Amino acid sequence: MTVTLPAQDATSGLGRIAYRVDNGSWQTYTGPFGLGEGRHFLEFFATDLAGLQETVRSASVSVDTTPPSTTASFTGVLGDHSWYISNVSVTLNPTDGLSGVRSTQYRLDGGLWIPYTGPFVLSDEGKHVLEFSSVDRAGNWETVRAAELDIEKSNPTFVFVFPRANVTTTPVSISWTNLDNDSEVVEYAVSVDGGPFTPLGTATNVTLDLSPGAHVIRVRATDPAGLMAEASLSLQVGSGSGSVGSSGPPLGASVPFLMALDVASIGAALAYVALRVRRRLHSKRE
C-alpha cells in the first residue's frame, strides 16, 4: 500500500512533514512511501516556515493483499483406490491471517456456485469434481481450488448372456454383459465347481474345457472401490475333458460389469437399474 501525506500552509508556507510507523523513529516525509501487509499505526504532523507545528495526527492502516486459503476434508467409508463406499460429508476450511474470511462458495461437477454455510453430504454415486474458493474482507479472491471425489455404494451388476441352456459339447464359451457401470470393473474371475477363482482381467467371456456331467460356473466381478458381485451358472455337459482357458478380449481390456441366470432374473436386474437411474435423475433435479 502506498501512503501520501499532502499538507499546505497559507501564510508562511510549509516547512516540513514528519511521520512514523508503529511507534518507530520519526522520519522526514519526502514523497509517497509503502506499507507492508498487516495492521499499522501511522502518526504524522507538519511544521510551517514560521516554526509552528500542528497537533500530531494518527491513523490505523490495515494492509491485506494475500487471498484466503481453503482446504476440503471428506468423511466417509473408504474402499479401494480412493473410492468412497458410503455417503460423504464434505467440510470446507477457509483461513485468512489478516483481514479475515468474508465468505466461501463451492460447486459440484460444473454446476451453480453455492454459498458454503457448513458441512454438507454428498450421496450421488460416480466420479465428482468439487470446486471451491473464498474471499477475505479486503476483497482478495482465492484462486479456485478443485478436488476429485468418487463414490460407489452399489456392488457391480451383471448378467450371463451365453449359454442359455445346457450344452452337449465342450469346450464351452461363457459370456456376460454389464448392467451398471458407475465405476466399471477392474477384474473378473471364474471358478469351476467350487475351485479357486482364476483372474480374467476385464475380459467378459471365458472358454472352458469341461468334463461330462453337471458343472457350476461362478463368475465374480470386482469394481475399483473393492465391492464385489458374484453369480453362478449351472451346466450339463455331454462330453469333454476339463481345464480352464480363456478367449475373447485380452486381459486388461476395458469392458464394464455383469450377471444372472435366466430371462426373469435379467428382467429384474434391468428393472433395478432403471429404478436407480430414475432416483439419480430425481435427486439431481432437486
For the chain, percent of residues with pLDDT exceeding 70: 80
Q: Give Cβ neighbours of residue 161 (< 8 Å, ≥ 6 apart).
A: 175, 176, 177
d(CA 129, CA 148): 5
What's the Cα-to-Cα distance from 260 to each of 160, 166, 192, 215, 264, rounded to whole Å?
6, 15, 16, 16, 9
- Residue intervals in the chain for CATH 2.60.40.10: 2-63, 69-151, 157-281
Nearest Cα to Cα of residue 54 among 4, 18, 11, 22: 18
- Choosing among 1.10.10.10, 2.120.10.30, 2.30.40.10, 2.60.40.10, the CATH entry for 2-63 is 2.60.40.10
- For residue 33, what is the DSSP state? E
264 SS3 class: helix
Supply the mean pLDDT for the chain. Answer: 83
- Residue 269 has φ and ψ, to the nearest 5°, of -65, -45
Spell out the CATH class of 69-151.
mainly beta
The amino acid that residue 272 corresponds to is Y
Handedness of CA 266, 272, 275, 276 (dihedral sign): negative
Q: What are 145's three cell numbers?
A: 481450488
Question: Mean per-residue pLDDT for 131-150?
Answer: 96
70-111 residue pLDDT tens:
999 999 999 998 999 999 999 999 999 999 999 999 999 999
Handedness of CA 272, 273, 278, 282 (dihedral sign): positive
Q: What are 156's three cell numbers?
A: 457391480
| pLDDT confidence bin for 182, thresholds 50/70/90 | low
- Choosing among 3.60.20.40, 1.10.1060.10, 2.40.10.10, 2.60.40.10, the CATH entry for 157-281 is 2.60.40.10
d(CA 60, CA 74): 41
231-259 residue pLDDT tens:
888 888 886 444 343 333 332 333 333 33
User: According to the model, what pLDDT value does residue 266 have?
Assistant: 43
Flag the least confident range among 85-89, 95-99, 113-117, 223-227. 223-227
Nearest Cα to Cα of residue 41 among 3, 67, 14: 3
Q: What are 137's three cell numbers?
A: 474482507
Question: Mean per-residue pLDDT for 198-210?
Answer: 91
* Statement: residue 286 has pLDDT above 80: no
| pLDDT confidence bin for 165, thresholds 50/70/90 | low
- For residue 271, what is the DSSP state? H
The amino acid that residue 5 corresponds to is L
Higher-confidence residue of 7 and 257: namely 7
d(CA 35, CA 20): 11
Residue 3 near residue 31 (C-beta atoms within 8 A)? no
Q: Give Cβ neighbours of residue 90 (< 8 Å, ≥ 6 apart).
A: 72, 73, 74, 119, 120, 121, 122, 130, 149
Handedness of CA 209, 202, 87, 268 (dihedral sign): negative
Q: How many CA atoms lie within 13 A of 19 on its CB side?
A: 20
N residues, the chain: 286
